[in-house]
Amino acid sequence: MNSGDYNCGSQRGQITVGVENRKVRQAYSFCDPAVAPSEMTKPSVFEFATLTDPNEEVRLRDILCQSFRLPTDYWDGYVERIGRANFRILRRAGRLVGGLAIYRMGQWFGGRCLNDAGIAAVGIAPEDRSAGAAAHLMTATLAELYEQGVAMSVLYASTQRLYRRVGYEQAGSRYQYQLPLASIGLNERSVPLHRIDGTEHEAYHEVARARAKVTNGNLERNAAMWERVVTYPYGDKNVYRYLLGAPDRPEGYLFFYQDAKQPGPYHLYVRDMVALSPAAARSLWTFFSDHRAMAETVFWCGPAVEPLLLLPSELMAQVISHERWMLRMVDLRKALRERGYRAGVEGEIHFEVEDDVVPQNNGRFVLTVLDGFGHVRDGGRGDIKAHVRGVSPLFSGFMSPVQLQATGQIEANDQAIAAATSIFAGPPPWMPDMF
């Protein structure tokens, strides 16, 4: 697969990536304090395009490396991994002022994979900020994604204010834990670990999907995302790769590297790990514990409530960082149709949604859930009223309808709250990936 493909098990998705330049001819109706209201009805001074020109690539490289404090020699590998056709740029009066990258991938909700666009490396030149450029860039990107049939978009925000303005909201988490190896106290090796040489990652895909189907929010990684996991893209760290169990029927995998901030004992840093059986989980912890003569601590990323922490003999884990990723419904009706729902749950929700960036999401419609599938038709009573932002944490299961009503994200009557609570209940959404 190339960087524009993803594969959701038996599903296969490919996003068509346009390479023609697109001009943003009309200012958008989001509220940008840097743009006077009188300016919002005037023709836009910004031009949105796909990155194709080598000279503009150098300019974009310099802007993004300055914005994110990256060395310029990091750029070539980054572009190669994502694909040049997946970079978008913004010009002002013919001069490039910023850009972003799009990861074409999938994301799992309710046991099904939806096509998704991960937004990364959103950067505007410092001298061109506070003029609405970033909001124009994001708005134009969302318009293109809708045209391409993308259901959702996900990102990690450096500033929530910008992304909320264009319809993103918190919808899942990523926790980083640390655990002293001496506290594990397990000695089970019933599931062997087999070290895998090379950076090929296809053997791990079905294991990752097995985890994704029973939780919410995990990514269906494309080739670029898998390369980030099985290698260390920021330096010369050696990533160790293992399959758990029989090679033809793996029960998990592990990718990690070793590092020390000073001479002496080192630490284990997990890029990703999966254990699909209790025995595999115990064997995985035993493998970490077997490093304790030379290593002190293992670090990994997991959900807010980490089930693997039921197994060590002592509860000495600490949360050392916590990120919340943001989700945007690009094509809301499509996302509700394609999401999975719990078996045995039936019901319907009457929505009334406001979206000032993707107008196709506006209006009233009814979601009917039956036999694990969602069906959407226009019309209805509008029992749940929300800006499109408020739908994201409801859709993902990150917040309950009661919590969203209490914080003003939705307005609903008691019957609609009860129906939404039943329909969107599920495991808390999370992902181990950062991009």
User: At which of 167, 188, 217 does a domain end?
Assistant: 167
- Among residues 167, 198, 226, the one where a domain terminates is 167
Pick from 18-27, 174-183, 287-296: least confident = 18-27
Burial of 420 (0-12, 13-18, 19+ CB in 10 A): buried
Mean pLDDT of the chain: 91
- Whole-number percent of the chain with pLDDT over 70: 89
Q: Name the residue range of residue 348's domain.
A: 331-423
What pLDDT score was predicted for residue 4?
52
Tokens coding 158: 């450096």
Residues in a beta bridge with 301:
176
Quick check: 33 pLDDT over 80?
A: no
- Give the pLDDT mean for 286-291: 98
Average pLDDT over residues 66-93: 94
Query: How distant, in Å, are the alpha carbons of 35, 134, 303, 362 from that of 41?
Result: 11, 18, 44, 20
Task: Tell me what pLDDT residue 206 has.
Answer: 98
Residue 398 to residue 316: CA distance in whole angstroms: 26
| Per-residue tokens: 38 | 């009188």
pLDDT confidence of residue 241: 97
Q: Is the pLDDT of residue 9 over 70?
A: no
**Residues 84 and 104 placed together within one structural domain of the fold:** yes
Confidence of residue 260 (pLDDT cuts 50, 70, 90): confident
Judge if 194 and 259 occupy the same domain.
yes
Residue 128 pLDDT class (50, 70, 90 cuts): very high
Number of domains in the chain: 3
How far apart, in whole angstroms, are the C-alpha atoms of residue 180 and residue 184?
Answer: 7
Domain assignment present for residue 430? The answer is no
CATH number of 136's domain: 3.40.630.30
Listed in sequence order, the residues at least 6 apart from 235 whose beta carbon sits closer than 8 Å to its beta carbon are: none
Q: Are residues 291 and 396 in the same domain?
A: no
Per-residue pLDDT tens over the stretch 335-394: 999 999 999 999 999 999 999 999 999 999 999 999 999 999 999 999 999 999 999 999
Give 391-401 pLDDT, tens digit per residue.
999 999 999 99
Comparing 7-21, 178-192, 225-239, 280-294, the range with the smallest average pLDDT is: 7-21
State the Cα torsion 406-135-328-115 to the nearest 10°: 180
Query: Nearest-CA neighbor of 381 among 370, 367, 365?
Result: 365
% pLDDT > 90, the chain: 86
Q: Give the domain-ending residue among 325, 340, 359.
A: 325
Tell me, letter by letter, the H, E, C secondary structure of 357-377: CCHHHCEEEEEEEECCEEEEE
